[in-house]
Structure 1
Amino acid sequence: MKLTGNTIFVTGGTSGIGRGLAEALHRLGNKIIISGRRRALLNEIIAVNPGMAAIELDINDPASIKRAAETIIRDFPETNVLFNNAGIMPFDDVAGPIDDATAQGVITTNLLGPIRMSSALIEHLKAQPEATILYTSSVLAFVPLATNAIYSATKAALHSYALSQRFQLRGTGVRVQEIAPPWVDTDLIYKSGDPRAMPLEDFIVQTIAALGTDAPEILVEAVKPLRDNPGASEHALVHAFNQGIVDHPIPVGS
């Protein structure tokens, strides 16, 4: 995608990767509209980023998505980039019973949310001279983390959805790009300074550089070895990846 002159709507733009990329793209001269459920937090962020705008959005609520899309089309008709970034990552243990409400919450936020948001804006984006839909998936779409099985499954599904949508939009001016982060040191799990986690600032720099290309997948260097298709060795790779986490657990804060 082009890196300047866009009007970009960001879901999940109040913290972590979403906020970091929103602010970086804002500094590059794009019009940024962030969204989230908490108006007070939205106001805090736009106060320190003059020119940025905000819309209240509950990505779990189809009616809220519809209202947000109507507001974007009415108040920001030049919007040409949808950045689907909202997501949650609770731990789970699929070796035992799963709490159904938690499972539905993860699936609704991480998968149905971006599907619904894209659907609500797709005709508007197709009417733009050029447009982009961005999805934040995860390296866990390719190599699942067993302690976050439902999260990993939603990101694998989102990757599949992006592949299909990219093909279906091939004859239009809408590009589909997927950002697949590694473990980044944010509050998605617990901001701990763990040396295995990529510093957010480094992730933002590498991601912005890659976004300025035509690459369908935006991959920082740390992701590329795990992104390579493991083929018939997939089971051994996933087992070894997760055993490494078991041997050196991810810190979990309260």
Structure 2
Amino acid sequence: MKPSGNTILITGGGSGIGQALAQRLHDAGNTVIVAGRRQNALDETIAGRANMHALVLDIESPEGIADFTERLLGAYPSVNVLINNAGIMRFEDLAQTHDLTDAEATITTNLLGPIRLINSLTDHLVKQSDAVVINVTSGLAFVPLTTTPTYNATKAAIHSYTITLREVLKGKVEIIELAPPAVQTGLTHGQETRPGYQPLTDFTDEVMALLTQQPTPPEILVERVRFLRFAEANGQFDETLTKLNAFAAQARNG
């Protein structure tokens, strides 16, 4: 990925990792379009920054994505980078029969949303110079948190989907996976200040350093997520699963 001169679309750009990356990528010399459900949050992200724009996107709706794509390409036909960052994380209890509303919403937002958006932009991106798709997954794609089973599953699925995209679009579109660790954002209640989670600024600094490497790594892995990414390969999966879930429980209840 070239470090500047891109026109970048980033979903979930109104808060958290999406907002932080959007602002840093803009400040690095890129035109950035942030997309999300809430116009006021998007406006806060772009405030005071020239060449930064906002478009409302209903990531849950196929019709909404089709309408968004038409508006996006009509206004910003030079888009050459797509960052699929929008996502939700819901706690579930698999120990008993329960309502699946949260699970279904998670699949729609975290899995179907990126698949639909990538599909809607593929014909455009393959015609662009220096085209890139970055899919944001999670360390939990590799070692699951037992309280967020559907979230883990969607991120594992996007990891696999990203590998396939990389092979199919080789030589046409650069495909990158960004797998965050636990970061201090508003993804879940109280997470912004949760002890033991990586501060957002530190995470963003590491990501930007990796993204500007030439060539850019196909997987953007900050130091804190590597123990999850390579747990199975290193023969430490069971141990890591136990430690991860004990840490998460203590962090939420401490």
Q: d(CA) in 2 for partners of 1:243 and 1:41?
A: 34
Q: Counterpart in 2 of 1:22?
A: 22
Q: CA RMSD in A?
A: 1.6
Q: d(CA) in 2 for partners of 1:220 and 1:38?
A: 29
| Residue 235 (1) aligns with residue 234 (2) | no
Whether contact under 8 Å (1:192, 1:251) holds in the other structure is no
- The one-letter code sitting in structure 2 at the alignment partner of 1:230 is E
Whether contact under 8 Å (1:178, 1:216) holds in the other structure is yes
Kindly provide the CA deviation profile for residues 177-210 of structure 1, in whole angstroms up to 9, marking residues without a partner as x.
0110010001001234233110000000100111
SS of equivalent to 2:148: helix
Kindly provide the CA deviation profile for residues 54-113 of structure 1, in whole angstroms up to 9, marking residues without a partner as x.
111010011111111112221111100001000001111111223222111000000000
Q: d(CA) in 2 for partners of 1:15 and 1:243?
A: 28
Q: Counterpart in 1 of 2:187?
A: 188
Q: d(CA) in 2 for partners of 1:239 and 1:229?
A: 12
Please report the TM-score for the alignment, with normalisation by the length of structure 2.
Answer: 0.93
- The runs of 5 or more residues in structure 1 that have no matched partner are none
**Alpha-carbon offset, residue 236 of structure 1:** 4.0
Q: d(CA) in 2 for partners of 1:237 and 1:202?
A: 23
Q: d(CA) in 2 for partners of 1:239 and 1:70?
A: 46
Q: Counterpart in 2 of 1:88?
A: 88
**Alpha-carbon offset, residue 39 of structure 1:** 2.0
Q: Counterpart in 2 of 1:215?
A: 217
**Alpha-carbon offset, residue 19 of structure 1:** 0.2
Q: d(CA) in 2 for partners of 1:58 and 1:78?
A: 22
Q: d(CA) in 1 for partners of 2:238 and 2:205?
A: 33
| Residue 107 (1) aligns with residue 110 (2) | no
**Alpha-carbon offset, residue 234 of structure 1:** 2.6
- The runs of 5 or more residues in structure 2 that have no matched partner are none
Please report the TM-score for the alignment, with normalisation by the length of structure 1.
Answer: 0.93
Query: Which piece of structure 1 moves more, 134-143 or 31-40?
Result: 31-40
Q: d(CA) in 1 for partners of 2:146 and 2:7?
A: 37
SS of equivalent to 1:195: coil
**Alpha-carbon offset, residue 130 of structure 1:** 1.6
SS of equivalent to 2:147: helix
Q: Counterpart in 1 of 2:117?
A: 117
Identity of paired residues, percent? 44
- The one-letter code sitting in structure 2 at the alignment partner of 1:75 is A
- The one-letter code sitting in structure 1 at the alignment partner of 2:162 is A
* Number of aligned residues: 250
Q: d(CA) in 2 for partners of 1:171 and 1:206?
A: 27
Q: d(CA) in 2 for partners of 1:151 and 1:244?
A: 18
Whether contact under 8 Å (1:4, 1:29) holds in the other structure is yes
- The one-letter code sitting in structure 2 at the alignment partner of 1:66 is A
1:1-254 equivalence runs, <5 A = 1-172=1-172, 174-189=173-188, 190-213=190-213, 214-231=216-233, 233-246=236-249, 248-251=250-253
**Alpha-carbon offset, residue 41 of structure 1:** 2.6
